Amino acid sequence: MPPMLSFPKNVVVVQPGQGRLELSPVLTAMGIRPDVGMGAIRFSLGRYTAIEEIDPVVDRLADVLACRVALER
């Protein structure tokens, strides 16, 4: 098993896909259309993920999306 990385509690780690230019097999199996699925963001949660760890991620994502919308206007 690969070593686990440790990050401070207030850090959100984002990484790009694995160089794929096609829809992931999981989204394909779910019946997601490629034009929708290619804009998907996957969040990985574990058994011990607490709601207190999720809320800040949702807040930051909302801020990023709001900035994106403002820039497109």
Tens digits of residue pLDDT in 16-41: 666 667 888 888 999 999 999 888 88
Alpha helices in 1-73 (DSSP H): 25-29, 34-37, 51-72
pTM: 0.52
Checking if the pLDDT of 2 tops 70, the result is: no
Work out the mean pLDDT of the chain and round it to a whole number. Answer: 78
Dihedral sign, Cα of residue 34, residue 60, residue 5, residue 48: negative
Q: Please name the residues in contact with 57: beta carbons below 8 A apart, sequence gap of 6 or more.
A: 12, 43
